[in-house]
Amino acid sequence: MTTEEENSIFQSSFKETTGCKANRPYGHGYLSSYQTRATTNQKNIELQGEVQVLKEKLANEVAERERILQEKIQELQEEEDRKRRLLQEEEERKRQALMEEMRKEIAVAMAKQSNSTTVEQV
């Protein structure tokens, strides 16, 4: 903990304990000095700069997470599309095999029928 932080904690607890509303710092005797408006403004500007940097970091992290999420979604969609295509190809192969089997059965049936008609003619 830095000296400034310790002093700030001391000042706030002193004010709370005594119920004092004055902004004069306690504990340093006649050497204590008030914070000037310029130093207060400078600290505020520094803190605002830190806040802005933290906001930018947060926005970058959120954007990175969103990008990673979108990549994962894209990968899952591509995998799903690939699986769907494989299933369609398999179904098409089965349908073609079934069609070929039916053609052979029809050809055999037609051959039997033509043999029986030739036997009847003789």
Asked if the model's pLDDT at residue 103 lies above 70, the reply is yes
Given a contact cutoff of 8 angstroms between Cβ atoms, the answer to whether 54 and 47 are in contact is: no
Domain extent at residue 97: 40-121
Burial label for 25, CB within 10 Å (0-12, 13-18, 19+), is: middle
Same-domain status, 109 and 52? yes
The answer to whether residues 30 and 47 belong to one domain is: no
Pair 30, 44 in one domain: no
Q: Is 58 in the same domain as 117?
A: yes
**Domain shared by 64 and 28, yes or no:** no
Statement: the pTM of the whole predicted model exceeds 0.85 = no
State how many domains the chain has: 2
Shared domain for 78 and 105, answered yes or no, is yes
> Structure tokens of 21?
């509303």
Asked if 81 contacts 73 with a C-beta cutoff of 8 angstroms, the reply is no
Domain co-membership, 49 together with 94: yes
pLDDT in tens, 18-68: 777 666 666 665 556 667 788 888 999 999 999 999 999 999 999 999 999
